[in-house]
Amino acid sequence: MSTNTGSDRRTGSETRAEILRVALRLFTEKGYEGTSTRDISSALGMTKSSLYYHFKNKEEIVASLVEARRHELDDFIEWLAAQPPAPDRLEKAALRWVGGTTPENLQVMRFAQANQPVMRRLAEGGGDIRSDFDRVIDLLVGEGASMEDRLFTRMVFDTAGAALLSARGTEAGPDDVIAAARRASTALARATQK
């Protein structure tokens, strides 16, 4: 008979991270609506009440997944605001943003693309990272820029989402998607320097 000395127990933050990882996998495989909290707790080998200790419902799990990218965006905006004007500023900014894209970020993006109703509910509650990205655009082209310039600049940063959509039905892996996004961001950003 073995006894638990506590050395093999997870901390609260480790447990939350594991819940997020497993929930995202299940949401991706079965869809948001097709995944129950029971599915998540079973896959984790924990009771539903243990799961509810960390997250009150599935929507809170999704909000937590999106919140991680929001923190990355806040850090990115702080970095961008400190950058001096330069001809290659847009390219450097785009490469920094795309460079921060991880396979886990892509999985969250894939989830968001496939589960628009839950993403709209989150946006209504203030969880819309896309509108927060307007601050990046303002820093790069200014608030008075034409809508065409604003949209073009946004496209420089939307390459991971575009590459992810393009990868549907192919054998492309996360590294392929990120490499394609980096290449597209570079090409688009350089087009503005001419």
Q: What is the CATH number of the domain that holds 27?
A: 1.10.10.60
Instruction: In whole angstroms, give the CA distance from residue 55 to residue 138.
Output: 35
In tens digits, what is the pLDDT along the chain, a chain of 194 residues?
334 444 356 787 889 999 999 999 999 888 889 999 999 999 999 999 999 999 999 989 998 988 888 889 999 999 999 999 999 999 999 999 999 999 988 988 888 888 888 888 888 766 567 778 889 999 999 888 999 999 999 999 999 999 999 999 999 999 999 999 999 999 999 998 76
Q: Let me know if residue 85 belongs to a domain.
A: yes
pTM, entire model:
0.79
Instruction: Please check whether residue 60 is in contact with residue 19, taking contact to mean a CB–CB distance below 8 angstroms.
Output: no
2 in a structural domain: no
| Domain identity same for 132 and 170 | yes
- Gyration radius (Cα) of the chain, Å: 19
Same domain, 30 and 95: no
b/e map 12-48, b = 16+ CB within 10 Å: eeebbeebbebbbebbbeeebeebebebbbeebebee
26 and 81, same domain (yes or no):
no
